[in-house]
Amino acid sequence: MMPLPKIVVPTFEVTLPETEEVIKCRPFLVKESKILTLAVEAEDKLGMLSACKQIVGNCAEGVDVDTMPLHLLQWLFLKIKEKSTGEIQAFELICGGCNNTMNYEMSVNDFELIGNTQEKNKKIFLNDSSGMVMKYPSAEIQVNFENMDDTDILVSCIDYIFDEEEMVKPDEDNKQEIVEFVDSLTLEKYGEAEEFLSAIPTIAHNIEYDCPKCSHHNQIIINGYEHFFV
């Protein structure tokens, strides 16, 4: 029996924002296209996240999709998708005044990182010798923010707590202790942590247009998996 030919897949490089790390990637294959199709049909946020992680894990070398922040995971996904299906993505816009639909084409490069892209870790001092270091949450945690209370969100974004002698990283074994620590913060320090979390970067594109049918002025922010996956 004749051996099947080996298919050589071209590769390309993507530079991550913030870290300037260069990631070697390849375009989608048929198996990634199938993952994408199933995720779109399911219309489930967690399913789309899982598909995004699986696709980026397949197509990008040396990345930890389980710990990567959501905006960087989406950034990589978009760059891989651009090389796989083209730069131009088609959307259907719906007027907020009359529900008239309008076709819209957008370049993947029109998406921007919005938020604090310079400070992925923030050190908050509680006194001269102790404090905590905040981090961007993993994609899986961030996509679940709406189902978490404020304390759980903050706990999930603590990288470690330190003093002069040691540092403690949150885990399942000390979670209750960390929750009690967060509840004991002064409002000032809690506010510093919230300020950091409110500026976590997101990927989005703002569209403004006047409806050709009713002249209603529309402002639409394109983001989320329902847009990235089309």
- For the stretch 17-37, pLDDT in tens is 878 899 999 999 999 989 888
Query: Distance between CA 94 and CA 101 in Å, rounded?
Result: 5
Give 38's pLDDT tier (boundaries 50, 70, 90): confident
Q: Residue 225: is its pLDDT beyond 60?
A: no
Distance of CA 20 to CAs 52, 72, 215, Å? Answer: 21, 12, 43
Nearby residues of 116 by Cβ (< 8 Å), 6 or more positions away: 196, 199, 200, 201
Task: Confirm if 84 and 10 have CB atoms less than 8 A apart.
Answer: no
148 CB neighbour count, 10 Å cutoff = 15
Q: How confident is the model at residue 144 (pLDDT cuts 50, 70, 90)?
A: confident
The amino acid that residue 25 corresponds to is: C
Q: Which of 18-32, 41-55, 70-84 has the lowest mean pLDDT?
A: 41-55
Range from 10-24, 111-125, 145-159, 168-182 carrying the lowest mean pLDDT = 111-125
How would residue 77 be classed by pLDDT, with cut points 50, 70 and 90? Answer: very high
**167 close to 80: Cβ distance less than 8 angstroms:** no
| pLDDT value at 201 more than 60 | yes
Radius of gyration of the chain from Cα atoms?
Answer: 21
pLDDT of 39 higher than 60:
yes
Q: What is the DSSP string of 138-172?
A: PHHHHTTGGGS-HHHHHHHTEEEEE-SS-EE---S
Measured CA to CA, the distance from residue 196 to residue 127 in angstroms comes to 19
Q: How many other C-beta atoms can be found within 10 angstroms of the C-beta atom of residue 70?
A: 22
Question: What pLDDT score does 44 carry?
Answer: 77
Query: Could you tell me where the DSSP H helices lie in 7-69?
Result: 30-42, 45-59
Give dist(CA 51, CA 74) in Å, integer.
11
